[in-house]
Structure 1
Amino acid sequence: MNDRPDSQTIENRTFDEIQIGDKASLTKRLTMDDIKLFAIMSGDVNPSHVDDDFARSSRFHEVVAHGMWGGALISTVLGTQLPGPGTLYLEQSLRFHAPVTLGDELKVTIEVIARDPSHKQLTFACRCENQDGVLAIEGEAQVIAPSEKVHRPRTVMPQVRLTERGRLHEILHAAKLPAPLRMAVVHPVDHDALLGAIAAAKHSLIIPLLIGPVARIQAAAEEAQIDITEYEVIDVPHSHAAARRAVELIHEGRAEALMKGSLHTDELMHEVLKRDGGLRTERFISHVMAFDVPTYPRPLLITDAAINIHPSLEQKRDIIQNAIELAQAMEIGIPKVALLSAIETINPRLPSTLDAAALCKMADRGQIHGGLLDGPLAFDNAVSEIAAKTKGIVSPVAGRADILVAPDLESANMLIKQLKYLADATGAGLVLGARVPIVLTSRADEVISRLASCALALLLVQYQQRSTLPPEV
């Protein structure tokens, strides 16, 4: 019998039970945790090896994924499934055909191709394919199979928590389209802004149009030691002109999204929000962060921490609708929306509770659609089923929220920064409600956050294009 990851026991197969043609397999996604754990175990903690900077460390990632990770997964299948406990590893030879990079999902399959009864030895053909069916690794392994049956409780391994999160890589993997997104990168004149855009381009998420003073962009490229010769650079004299030209490119149909570079958010949003020539729609514009929180079992969207300071009821309606649309683009079918306040009961002296009640009724009447709303809810009741049960709250949203809607910008901003700096969370953000998604990066953002933000923009554009297609006849 094959070992099942959810089983409480583990059982091997003896040599006499195994025949030529028997198979076993395992599927696992490669995360930065795997690479960092290898670095810790081997003592190789060179920053250039474990840096989250995709552009500078991708070669190391591929080498580790091939030599360590792929071979380790094959060993795992042999040691836990076929033959299982009691197996003695003799020899392994592998050939590497394609790179395995962060976020890839590798399927490992082993098959018995030879038996040596005199020595109880088995030879296995080993094959590793990625999520697209591309052969990455193949080879053979020889083992001595156990002669005695082993049936024992499964060892519970200790949890190791590192800074990298698998769900951001899942977003990157999900955002694979036939063509990358044409993105206007506004004023990328420093190392961080330019590096994030080029890393997204290297991952086929975007085709960057670099807009700014060409001399400063080239100087930033030299500082970051990256080659930008294959990308279009649009020369403008300063950041104001860069923001204006980026918006013009959207109107001209040359760009499908915007990315903030080395300029203040107000500069970019001033051009976006212009009544004549801007990118306004019928909706209010808002900001959404998609967070990967280690202690929370699902992606968590938080809004609005960057645009609307004291949103009105009308603005909150659009803030919620924007977040629901992004959640659906992330394949969260009917997102659960928690309307946050300090308490879970309606109190006329606390306006956020009145707004929450009104927004829930608006959803009942179809003024907000696509999500399941409840509120007011205190933060603990929104994310903890135990807290909600203790307080006697019966709700399909309480304890299971996908979207948290804060009452104002201050509370949303503090919540986001608390999650990031105290709860080890990693996030990716977008400005929504304009004609195109806007990647609103911060100088403190890691490269993975910038990449995931571009991937979110790509997913949103893909979702919007599907939504506008005529129904099939």
Structure 2
Amino acid sequence: MASNKTYDQISVGDSAQITRTCSTNDLLIFAHASGNRNPLNLPDTDWTGDGQVDKPVAPSMWVGALISAVLGNILPGPGTRYLTQSLEFHRGVAVGDELIVRVEVTGKGANRVLEIDTTVTLEDGTAVASGKAEVTAPETTIEFEASDLPALLIERHRHFNRLITLAKKLAPMPTAVVAPDDESSLAGALLAADEGLIEPILIGSSARIKTAANSIGRSLEAFALIDLEDESEAAAKAISMVHDGSVRAVMKGHMHTDDLLRHIVKRDGGLRTKRRISHVFVMDIPGRGTPVLITDAAINIAPDLETKVDITQNAIDAARSLGLSEPKVGILSAIETVNPAIPSSLDAAVLSKMAERGQIKGGIVDGPLAMDNAIDVQAARTKGINSLVAGHAEVLVVPNLEAGNMLAKELTFIAHAEAAGLVIGAKVPVMLTSRADDGRARLASCAIALLYDHWKRTGLPVEVFDPSGE
């Protein structure tokens, strides 16, 4: 229980202070609360106009508002009423700066008015802001319980922004786009071309593709277009272009996944390798420190243990290509203990041991883990799980397609995640986006495919991921 200080309890010279580290979320919340959307004060913007993302500067009034936290919470505390506040700002504040906010009573007047010096400094004493305030101090004691406010969800997708920025550092990848004959699939391919991620070769019905282009107001003069009315023929043509070296990736347009996969998995002339192909969802979930990869939610319906080995290895490779140097892989089941009656828990235990023995490489694998203790540290601690993965999983290997599909869609529609998709294990990356995906999802899928292609060819990511970076 805490208490305020009444006017009679306060003396000249009394002081109080707090420390506060400026975060990206502070800037976003202040922009929403104030309506001030100055790009200078927002993350992931190019406010200088030089084509590069610039570091934001905290709004000066956000800095000034911190003073009210000291006055309203500590000195005088609850019941305080602001009368006046003067402020002079001496320098900007960046994300990560730790601020010391201090108030000191310099005078007492009639009607319970207090005169207060207010200062905000950096840790080293550098002045950020200074001024004077007048407040009416409370007349009676107010005892209160200092409880946390309800959490806020900041719907911010910084991981995809980062991946797209990284992919732009690479040369665009020649890509066969199969049947991009509706507005969404064509717009996504052209957007990726505009951003310098792919060099699309459009394969499909010329009439339908041109109609879609007219609908979105785009010219196709700058792009190669191969006219094939039949979608199956278009898919076969894309596969043949991989074999002759014309393209390094395949992108699904407005067609059924099975129609494209049929050509990819053919034993003769397909894109099969020694490893089983699988699908990886890369999820950008607001509030998570890293991207989260979910596999397999689109191709392997009820994978056996041998297939899960390839699924797990494919996902580790995808995660490493995104800059996660040693991805933490949680093998999911309904429980976190091995139960012979639950086959997925047995598979999880075997996969963990196989990784320990070097049969699965490049990641830290643990299981079985239930969803809660795979991603939540407190849940893992409550159940006494001591693991490098528990609570920190960056890759989630699901028991079957149904579980993966439901998990990915729950995160998308309930947790406001953005999702991109990629098929791993074929000769080239395959962008297997949904027909309902918007241009942003297709753009992210292209970025992930380009980063994966670079990793496959060089063995190195474009940049190692720094989870502490903003």
Confirm or deny a common fold (TM above 0.5): yes
Does residue 189 (structure 1) correspond to residue 172 (structure 2)? The answer is no
Structure 1 residue matching 2:59: 3-state secondary structure: helix
Distance change (3 Å), C-alpha of 1:147 and 1:190: closer
Instruction: State the distance in 1 between where 2:437 and 2:445 align.
Output: 10
Aligned to 2:14: none
Deviations 1:439-464 (A, max 9, x none): 11112223221111100000001111
Instruction: State the distance in 2 between where 1:205 and 1:433 align.
Output: 21
Aligned to 1:339: 331
Aligned to 2:19: 9
Distance change (3 Å), C-alpha of 1:354 and 1:62: closer
> Is the CA contact 1:243–1:268 (under 8 Å) kept in the aligned structure 2?
yes
For residues 111-130 of structure 1, the aligned pairs below 5 Å read none
1:383 to 366, 375, 378: 375
1:239 to 231, 234, 247: 231
> Is the CA contact 1:168–1:448 (under 8 Å) kept in the aligned structure 2?
no
Measured after TM superposition, the shift of residue 35 of structure 1 is 13
What TM-score does the superposition give when structure 2 sets the normalisation length?
A: 0.70
Instruction: State the distance in 2 between where 1:314 and 1:238 align.
Output: 36
Instruction: State the distance in 1 between where 2:218 and 2:29 align.
Output: 27
Instruction: State the distance in 2 between where 1:253 and 1:42 align.
Output: 51
Does residue 205 (structure 1) correspond to residue 215 (structure 2)? The answer is no
Unaligned runs of 5+ in 2: 1-16, 38-43, 68-84, 96-128, 134-147, 462-470
2:307 to 312, 315, 318: 315
Measured after TM superposition, the shift of residue 389 of structure 1 is 0.6
Deviations 1:174-202 (A, max 9, x none): 11234111111000000000000001111
> Is the CA contact 1:79–1:86 (under 8 Å) kept in the aligned structure 2?
no
- Is the deviation greater in 192-201 or in 223-232? 223-232
Distance change (3 Å), C-alpha of 1:77 and 1:351: same
For residues 393-408 of structure 1, the aligned pairs below 5 Å read 393-408=385-400
**Code of the aligned partner of 2:418:** T
Measured after TM superposition, the shift of residue 167 of structure 1 is 1.2
> Is the CA contact 1:35–1:64 (under 8 Å) kept in the aligned structure 2?
no
**Code of the aligned partner of 1:41:** G
Percent of matched pairs sharing the same residue: 44
> Is the CA contact 1:284–1:315 (under 8 Å) kept in the aligned structure 2?
yes
Aligned to 1:348: 340
**Code of the aligned partner of 1:406:** V
Instruction: State the distance in 2 between where 1:200 and 1:235 align.
Output: 21
Does residue 366 (structure 1) correspond to residue 354 (structure 2)? The answer is no
**Code of the aligned partner of 2:243:** H
Deviations 1:1-24 (A, max 9, x none): xxxxxx95379xxxxxxxxxxxxx
Instruction: State the distance in 2 between where 1:463 and 1:325 align.
Output: 9
> Is the CA contact 1:79–1:87 (under 8 Å) kept in the aligned structure 2?
no
Distance change (3 Å), C-alpha of 1:35 and 1:280: farther
For residues 424-443 of structure 1, the aligned pairs below 5 Å read 424-443=416-435
Instruction: State the distance in 2 between where 1:36 and 1:226 align.
Output: 35
Deviations 1:260-284 (A, max 9, x none): 0011000100010111111000100
> Is the CA contact 1:78–1:87 (under 8 Å) kept in the aligned structure 2?
no
Instruction: State the distance in 2 between where 1:248 and 1:468 align.
Output: 28
Instruction: State the distance in 2 between where 1:236 and 1:88 align.
Output: 68
> Is the CA contact 2:163–2:444 (under 8 Å) kept in the aligned structure 1?
yes
Deviations 1:287-325 (A, max 9, x none): 001111124332111000000001111110000000000
Aligned to 2:35: 41
Instruction: State the distance in 1 between where 2:292 and 2:258 align.
Output: 26
Distance change (3 Å), C-alpha of 1:78 and 1:350: closer
Instruction: State the distance in 2 between where 1:347 and 1:74 align.
Output: 53
Instruction: State the distance in 2 between where 1:296 and 1:419 align.
Output: 12
Structure 2 residue matching 1:207: 3-state secondary structure: strand
What TM-score does the superposition give when structure 1 sets the normalisation length?
A: 0.70
Measured after TM superposition, the shift of residue 227 of structure 1 is 2.1
Instruction: State the distance in 2 between where 1:396 and 1:171 align.
Output: 25
Matched residues, number: 369
**Code of the aligned partner of 2:412:** K
